[in-house]
Structure 1
Amino acid sequence: MKAIVLGTLMAAVAATGATFSKSAEANELALSLCTYVQGDDTMRMRKKLRDSRVRVRDIYSGIQCNGQSLLQFAMSNGSQDIGEFIVGRLSVDELKSSGDYEWAQSNGHAGSPIAAAIKERAGL
């Protein structure tokens, strides 16, 4: 009986630890990506995505940097290279539905190369 309880307890702790580990990894990934966007560091972002085995299009909608999407954050920080990189990695449907182009127009970034890349790729 003692072995069954101990085994169950160990399994519960292991499962909970795995959940915390995945959550911590996701938070670390989001923080890293926001840092790379702010610094316009495309090479490090590519490496981080490759090492984490994720694609921008799979995580884009789930990441916020200071309450902004990755593209909005890139426009706010003048990170043109990484912004254009992200635009190239997102699907046309994602670009149309994200509202990033409309945000750029209403926040004074309509002339940004990132907004131009969104407009061209999404056909807006």
Structure 2
Amino acid sequence: MKLKFLPLIAVFATPLFATSASANDQVAESICAYIAANDKNSLRKTLSDSRIRIKNVYDGVSCDGLPMIRFAIKNNAADAAEFIIKQLPGSFVAKMGDSEWAASNGFAASPILEAIKARSAS
């Protein structure tokens, strides 16, 4: 008899998980949009309202297939990138390899690299 209830639970639980995933997708889209627009204040507000810390979602959010900092470098979003970099541990920033990526992709003059270097040193 318990086996008959399992499919019903799965059917009713699926929309709950789908709603949660779409809400998370919407937050991720907002994060990427604010980075592209270099809107640090809206980025901060979205994270705060959603009770999300950058360090907890950094690996799970990609913008156009790039990590957030590389996406910011590509879009010349210095204010947003600096905010993100300050929210991450220095050891994490040092291991990401964003400076090398920027140099090999034509972004060696980006002011964001200075923030990466400063955070990596601390």
TM-score by structure 2 length? 0.88
Partners of 1:76 and 1:44 in 2: CA distance: 19
Q: Shift of residue 8 of structure 1?
A: 5.2
Contact 1:71–1:86 under 8 Å retained in 2: yes
Aligned length: 121
Match of 2:81 in 1: 83
SS at match of 1:119: helix
Match of 1:40 in 2: 38
Q: Deviations over 1:28-48 (max 9, x none)?
A: 111111100000011111111
SS at match of 2:62: coil
Aligned CA RMSD, in angstroms, stands at 1.9
Q: How does 1:2-81 map to 2 (within 5 A)?
A: 10-81=8-79
SS at match of 1:40: coil
Match of 1:102 in 2: 100
Question: Which deviates more from structure 2 when the two are superposed, residues 17-26 or residues 76-85?
Answer: 17-26
Q: Shift of residue 93 of structure 1?
A: 2.2
TM-score by structure 1 length? 0.86
Partners of 1:57 and 1:30 in 2: CA distance: 14
| AA in 2 matched with 1:63 | V
SS at match of 1:54: coil
List runs of 5+ in structure 2 lacking aligned partners: none
List runs of 5+ in structure 1 lacking aligned partners: none
Percent of pairs with identical residues:
37
